[in-house]
Structure 1
């Protein structure tokens, strides 16, 4: 049941990422059109594009952790004896979990600390720039727990796109 929840969360992140990329393309296209055709650059388009890049990147990072798409030194683990390999995999997932927790906590704190400030071109809170990293940190924790549970059960986590 936990694996199903994590798979659905990861798929939702992928769909949101796709929607974010489409919105990003639209924002940048409008900015280029405004600059070169209308000779009147929309100031909000660049800020929106930067914000969308943060959201797409952070959601993609979380899904990459779940699907084990991040950079790893697997060649060293393959050469190690089974007992050592298993311990190292536990350590790796525990460290990623701690990193995700630290990221969620600190970015959430940062978002709250700047919430009263406004992005001048979008007229939204400055905190929206830090929300995606906080959410990605929570997702990384959830996905790392899934990996630890899978290791304990002697199975692999299936990628989200299967």
Structure 2
């Protein structure tokens, strides 16, 4: 059995899903750092090339845009796990704890279904664009959609844990 700090006991398949999602958290956090660093370096080089050398890096705009968008999508599930995404919870917070927990679980389950829809739609879009090339890079335009697929899967895992385990499974910054 696994016990989160201040959270419920997790055992069986739910504990496996939680550990798996947390493992993905660690990996994606490093990928986000690398992508943001690559974006910053590439944009800085582009500015230097333009103003100091009167030249340009052809792929800089497209690659830096990809790094930025991918980092945003990869970061979304981290917010799900911590419950930091924007929400209107004025009335929910006024409800009795039991009803609050039921609504939380229903919301997490509905959001998990939405992540499946995002994953499915993202897979269709990725397949549709896979044979097209990016304008300035010799790679598939479908590459832009891979972070959407990852987000759908990763977010789904966190939402399943929250739907089954309830609000006590929400983690805080100190638990990462």
The TM-score, its normalising length taken from structure 2, stands at 0.84
| More displaced 10-residue stretch of structure 1: 77-86 or 140-149 | 77-86
Q: Which residue matches 2:168?
A: 155
Root-mean-square deviation (Å)? 1.6
Q: Which residue matches 2:123?
A: 108
| 1:107-129: CA deviation from partner (whole Å, max 9, x where unpaired) | 11101111111002111001001
Q: How many residues align?
A: 160
On the 8 A contact 2:82/2:171 being kept in 1, the answer is yes
Q: Which residue matches 2:38?
A: 23
Q: 2: distance between equivalents of 1:23 and 1:88?
A: 41
Cα distance change on mapping 1:44 and 1:28 into 2, 3 Å: same
Cα distance change on mapping 1:47 and 1:161 into 2, 3 Å: farther
Q: Is 1:41 matched up with 2:56? A: yes
The TM-score, its normalising length taken from structure 1, stands at 0.91
Where in structure 2 are there 5+ consecutive unaligned residues? 1-14
On the 8 A contact 1:103/1:133 being kept in 2, the answer is yes
| Alpha-carbon shift at residue 74 of structure 1 (Å) | 3.1
Q: 2: distance between equivalents of 1:160 and 1:42?
A: 38
Q: Which of residues 142, 147, 153 is equivalent to 1:132?
A: 147
| Alpha-carbon shift at residue 40 of structure 1 (Å) | 0.9
